Amino acid sequence: MGGHQLFLSLGGNLGNKSKIFPETQDLIREQIGEILKISSPYESKAWGFQSRHLFLNQVIKVETCLSPFEVLINIRFIENHFGRTRKQGKYLSRKMDIDLLFYDNVIIRTEELTIPHPLLAERKFVLIPFMEIEPDFFHPLLKKNIRDICRDCQDCSIIAKKSPVN
């Protein structure tokens, strides 16, 4: 292994989450790299659309030797494994969604990949689990750590810590 540290957000609201989340982590170990830290799972209502199914979310820290674009390709492979379909500009219920939040302190702005994740600061369901594992991680664009970003977040969603699924 080596070198690059990245943070991924895992989220899903369909299927057997107690099987899907550990299986996702196994696929991340196989396809992306060594998992260094895993937050507790957190439950919340859907964000950006209506769904009667609650979401489960986790943030994980991974060490990889892959490039950001190779990581993205493997994320899509893992999401497709769980039947994920993407519709441009539309949020949908799904078994597994994986977002690449940070890759070292790299800033990338392309059509297919934006790092840091552009909506991170608006999403308590990502910030709260992130804060659990790495509150002092410094956002290279916002020039604040995760703790301060979470404190300043305007999202009023209720995020409930659950017992671990792994």
The token pair that represents 48 in the structure block: 């950006």
Q: What digits encode the pLDDT tens for the residues 49-61?
A: 788 889 999 999 9
The verdict on residue 166 lying in a domain is no
The verdict on residue 12 lying in a domain is yes
Mean pLDDT over 84-94 rounds to: 67
Residue 165 in this model has a pLDDT that exceeds 90 = no
Mean pLDDT over 68-96 rounds to: 84
Report d(CA 111, CA 109) in Å as an integer: 7
Domain that holds residue 30: 4-161
The verdict on residue 23 lying in a domain is yes
In the chain the first and final C-alpha atoms are separated, in Å, by 23
Q: What digits encode the pLDDT tens for the residues 23-71?
A: 999 999 999 999 999 999 999 998 877 888 899 999 999 999 999 999 9
Confidence of residue 93 (pLDDT cuts 50, 70, 90): confident
Residue 8: per-residue pLDDT: 98
The verdict on residue 104 lying in a domain is yes
Residues 6+ apart with CB under 8 A from 50: none
Q: What digits encode the pLDDT tens for the residues 95-115?
A: 999 999 999 999 999 999 999
Look at the chain and report how many structural domains it folds into: 1
Residue 159: per-residue pLDDT: 95
CATH number reported for the structural domain that contains residue 23 in this entry:
3.30.70.560
Alpha carbon 52 to its chain's center: 21
- Model pTM? 0.93
